[in-house]
A = this chain, B = another copy of it.
Amino acid sequence: MRTEFHQQLRALNADLARMCELAGEAVQRATLGLLTVDLEAAERVLTELEVLAALRRDVDRSALALLARQAPVASDLRAVVAAVHIASDADRMGGLAAHIARIVRRRHPDPVLPNDVVGQFSEMGSLAVDLAEDAASVIIDGDPVRASRIRDDDEAMNDMHRKLFVAVMSPQWTHGVPAAIDLVLLGRFYERFADHAVAIAARVLFRSTGDTTRDLGQ
């Protein structure tokens, strides 16, 4: 019974890791669409997210089945409840990549980004992909090195988000209101993407203690 439970839990975690990878691929493709003004890439983000949504429904169903049939307790129970939260976070990461893709689509064939911030968004995109991949890795093996990289990358993302905000708000900003608004929204989507990766890592690392109030920074 317990062996069967742990097998099913491993399968559940493999699905969660796959969800993070799909969210990483989505934000990578959305960033490509943003940087290279590629409508097709943006459209593909939106269609491929259906796979992520389907996987989320599978995870929710598997978690309910595990709870109903195996009635886990203690750390096993917390692992299943954590899985339900992680699925929700990974799904939302995909949703944020979709928001980025929709901005690309809305402005097409015009570029969203003024030239002087292309490098900054390329960097934010790379950070987001790393965060998603590291979250996947932490789910599978709880690797503390990857977990600590998530914390560092999240801080780097917050720094870039703040700098973007300052640049756009400054009197030297010459690209007008619509561009400023697109950039602030995009910055927020990347920053929220990072927050969800942090939440996933925190859930994995602290599910054994049941303490969900701590975060990775403590």
Q: Considering only CB atoms, which chain B residue lies closest to A68 in the complex?
A: B73
Quick one: CB contact mask for A173-203 with B, threshold 8 Å, 1 for yes? 1001110110011001000000000000000
Q: Which residues on the B side are within 8 Å of A165 (C-beta)?
A: 181
Select one of B60, B67, B178, B210 contacting A169, CB under 8 A: B178
Select one of B68, B168, B178, B185 contacting A74, CB under 8 A: B68
Quick one: CB contact mask for A155-178 with B, threshold 8 Å, 1 for yes? 000000000010011000100111
Chain A residues engaging chain B, CB cutoff 8 angstroms: 57, 60, 63-64, 67-68, 71, 73-74, 77-78, 81, 84-85, 88, 165, 168-169, 173, 176-178, 180-181, 184-185, 188, 210, 212-213
Q: Which residues on the B side are within 8 Å of A176 (C-beta)?
A: 177
